Chains A and B, each alone.
Chain A
């Protein structure tokens, strides 16, 4: 199974901008759209970004997504204390008859 690689942790002070990277391959990020989920451990994840850079209604515009080649990024601007939780990238992978892959997850800490 393919996997998307994220840094285990990221941090910033309130108001700062934090960027989380997501590295994949040509069979996943390189050829399919990327989604980002925010998860409070033990609860159902919440969709933050879909189709690389689109926000569902209700998601603050502090959250933005981008993609280039086989990598994607999630940026959190104006970091707030409630942003301290886990973040996962995800995408469809065309290899092995097709399967869905999640990133390894990044814990964001607000200092």
Chain B
């Protein structure tokens, strides 16, 4: 069974870059039928899709992020990562790494989530 695990700093300073990594086990990261991405949830708020990328490099991002987000895959390490630049307090959230099925059109696997706070 696929397992996703987030890792990275829990505290980021305002205006700096938030960096998170998701480690994949129990399944292949090179399957072209899936996309690998991130979803976040601010404290007391709703779910917000950040973006995802396929192994072949097809990527999509939330337009509301105004180009601040980048997701890359490192298949040799069986990991994918998120970089979110110029963070503000509004980026404080619980961040989930996810797998999206490009055939079934839903998120079929989730990490447990990691809380990242942006400090001033």
Q: In the bound complex, what is the Cα–Cα distance between A103 and B106 (angstroms)?
A: 14
The A-B contact count (CB < 8 A) is 60
**Which residues of A are interface residues toward B (Cβ below 8 A)?**
1, 32-33, 35, 37, 39, 42-45, 47, 50-51, 88, 90, 92, 96-105
Point out the residue from B63, B108, B112 that lies within 8 Å of A96, measured CB to CB: B63
Say which residue of B63, B64, B106, B111 sits within 8 Å of A44 (CB atoms): B111
Q: Mark B41-73, 1 if CB is under 8 A from A, else 0.
A: 000001111001000000011111000000000
CA of A45 to CA of B107, assembled, Å: 9
**B106 to A102, Cβ gap below 8 A?**
no
CB within 8 Å for A99 and B105 given contacts A42-B113, A43-B113, A44-B110 = no
Bound form: Cα–Cα A90–B47 in Å? 10
Interface string of B4-29 (1 = CB under 8 A from A): 00000000000000000000000000
| B residues near A44, Cβ cutoff 8 Å | 96, 110-113
B47 touches A99 (CB 8 A): no
Q: Tell me, in angstroms, the Cα distance from A44 to B47 when the chains sit together.
A: 10
**Would B94 and A42 count as touching, CB distance under 8 A?**
yes
For residue A104, which residues in chain B have a CB less than 8 angstroms away from its CB? 46
Q: Chain B residues near A103 (CB, 8 Å)?
A: 46
Q: Are the C-beta atoms of A97 and B96 separated by less than 8 Å?
A: no
Contact indicator A45/B47 (Cβ below 8 Å) = yes
Q: Are A102 and B96 in contact (CB under 8 A)?
A: no
User: Do B63 and A99 touch across chains, with their CB atoms under 8 A apart?
Assistant: yes
10 residue pairs of the A-B complex, CB under 8 angstroms, read A35-B106, A43-B113, A44-B112, A50-B104, A51-B105, A88-B46, A88-B47, A99-B62, A100-B62, A103-B46
Are A99 and B94 touching (Cβ within 8 A)? no
Instruction: Flag if B63 contacts A47 (CB, 8 Å).
Output: no
Q: Is the CB of A102 within 8 A of B46?
A: yes
Q: Among A1, A50, A100, find the residue whose CB has the most chain B CB atoms closer than 10 A.
A: A100
Closest to B47 in A: A102
Nearest Cβ on chain A to B81's Cβ, whole angstroms? 19
